[in-house]
């Protein structure tokens, strides 16, 4: 397409928008609303209603901290805001997040029912070893028994969201010993032993 043809397309598109601005803006806002103001600080629940109830937040906290507990080098997942991240994520109106909302809410319900079935108490009241016993059955999709396959799919996605939320925080990046976005006085390249290991030295 040459320059003249491109200009014709741009002018035609702008004419359509000027002729029918209401229908264009309605189409844009029908699904998601307007874009957020990137100069403004938003508080939880301002962009869209949040999903998790108080009990569900406690369940998410328990499971997040089972996946990434506190240790000698970093805080737990919940301590760095992963629960709030999870609530925002599954509350967003976009197609992928809507799928995750259904998966997470149904997964939490399954965990609660499974805890009650196995141990005669709800998820928030089981002992740590009992929680780990449930998680061991759903922590790896290829090894999950057929009756646990759906729960294993939930756990895999929940684990990904937990890790994504955690390792994009300053504390998570520090735990990875990530040194990007940090000015260095000089860069000496990979250490010699690393180069030797991969056959480059």
Tell me the per-residue pLDDT of 134-189, one tens digit each, with 9 for 90 and over: 999 999 999 999 999 999 999 999 999 999 999 999 999 888 888 777 788 888 88
Q: Three-class SS of residue 97? A: helix
d(CA 115, CA 105): 16
With a cut of 50, say whether residue 18 has pLDDT above it.
Answer: no
pLDDT digits (tens, 9 = 90+) for 69-94: 999 989 999 999 999 999 999 999 99
pLDDT computed for residue 24 by the predictor: 41
Q: Report percent pLDDT > 90 for the chain.
A: 67
d(CA 154, CA 162): 12
* Tokens encoding 168: 């994009």
With a cut of 80, say whether residue 13 has pLDDT above it.
Answer: no
At residue 113 the predicted structure's pLDDT band, cuts being 50, 70 and 90, is: very high
pTM above 0.85, yes or no: no
pLDDT computed for residue 52 by the predictor: 98
Residue at token pair 């990530």? 178
With a cut of 70, say whether residue 29 has pLDDT above it.
Answer: no
All residues at 6 or more sequence positions from 87 whose CB lies less than 8 Å from its CB, including other chains? 44, 50, 51, 52, 57, 60
C-alpha gyration radius of the chain: 24
d(CA 41, CA 90): 20
Q: What integer is the mean pLDDT of 9-30?
A: 46
């Amino acid at each position: 397409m040459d320059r003249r043809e491109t200009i014709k397309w741009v002018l035609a598109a702008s004419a359509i928008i000027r002729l029918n601005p209401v229908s264009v803006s309605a189409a844009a806002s029908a699904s998601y609303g307007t874009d957020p103001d990137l100069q403004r600080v938003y508080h939880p629940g301002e962009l869209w209603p949040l999903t998790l109830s108080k009990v569900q937040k406690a369940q998410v906290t328990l499971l997040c901290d089972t996946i990434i507990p506190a240790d000698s080098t970093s805080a737990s997942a919940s301590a760095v805001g992963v629960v709030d991240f999870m609530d925002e994520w599954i509350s967003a109106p976009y197609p992928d997040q809507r799928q995750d909302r259904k998966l997470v809410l149904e997964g939490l319900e399954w965990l609660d029912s499974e805890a009650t079935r196995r141990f005669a108490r709800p998820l928030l009241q089981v002992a740590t070893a009992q929680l780990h016993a449930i998680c061991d059955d759903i922590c790896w999709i290829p090894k999950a028994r057929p009756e646990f396959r759906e729960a294993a799919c939930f756990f895999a996605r929940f684990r990904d969201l937990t890790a994504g939320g955690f390792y994009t925080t300053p504390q998570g990046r520090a735990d990875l010993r990530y040194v990007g976005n940090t000015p260095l006085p000089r860069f000496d390249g990979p250490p010699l032993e690393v180069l030797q290991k991969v056959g480059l030295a």
